[in-house]
Structure 1
């Protein structure tokens, strides 16, 4: 695995072709990243608040001579545009080598495993007790109810 250095970040950014407008948009907007499979990162523009799911795209990551870099995105701007999209630029600059290398390090599922592992988000790891915010309420969240961890109140 590669080191997480500023040099790797700079080299990954240099692999992309983007303009000042895209750079400013990446800096102004809020981003979330989830490794969803081998060489795949889900990039979410969280600036859209409760509509952020409509602004989530999958960015492919490839290993170029030992350097993990964003390769393609399924957003319309990347598919039809002449330059790299803001999702790829955000992954390289905001997510950086840590997220890029994590995507490259995810193992490809084998025939023994029927599906890829569930993505792990930062929020999952922040809860040291493994609990949920709904533990403080009388009413459970949907995930806890669905998993059978909490019942609906009488």
Structure 2
């Protein structure tokens, strides 16, 4: 599934909220929503990426609601080409 950045609440939040990205392993992006300040460590999720396309997230919104256009974490990753590329690179 390819997520699309339409003019949705999730897309707006993906753009406006502070996010930090880490690529711990191939195909995964760790996303921390730093907008929550000291509680940001309670808002850390993993977005799965394949061929520079986010397709899954561990957040409750995606797990329980499975929105058609992706959750804000998937949209935030999609909007960061360098993060997508890093997650999609094959490491040896």
Q: Same fold (TM over 0.5)?
A: yes
Shift of 1:82: 3.4
| Residue aligned with 2:66, SS | coil
Counterpart mapping for 1:22-33 below 5 A: 22-33=10-21
- Note the alpha carbon deviations across 1:119-154, whole angstroms, 9 max, x for none: xxxxxxxxxxxxxxxxxxxxxxxxxxxxxxxxxxxx
What does 1:3-152 correspond to in 2, within 5 Å?
15-17=2-4, 20-63=8-51, 68-83=52-67, 84-93=70-79, 96-107=80-91
SS of alignment partner, residue 72 of structure 1: strand
Structure number with bigger Rg: 1
How far apart are residue 69 of structure 1 and its match?
Answer: 1.0
The TM-score, its normalising length taken from structure 2, stands at 0.86
Task: Please state how far the C-alpha of 1:40 moved relative to its aligned partner.
Answer: 0.5
Which segments of 5 or more consecutive residues in structure 2 lack a partner in the other structure? Answer: none
**TM-score, normalized by length of structure 1?**
0.53
Higher strand share: 2
SS in 1 for 2:78: helix
How many residue pairs are counted as aligned between the two chains? 88
**Structure with greater contact order relative to length (CA < 8 Å, sep ≥ 6):** 2
Deviant stretches of 4+, over 3 Å:
none
User: SS in structure 2 opposite 1:43?
Assistant: strand
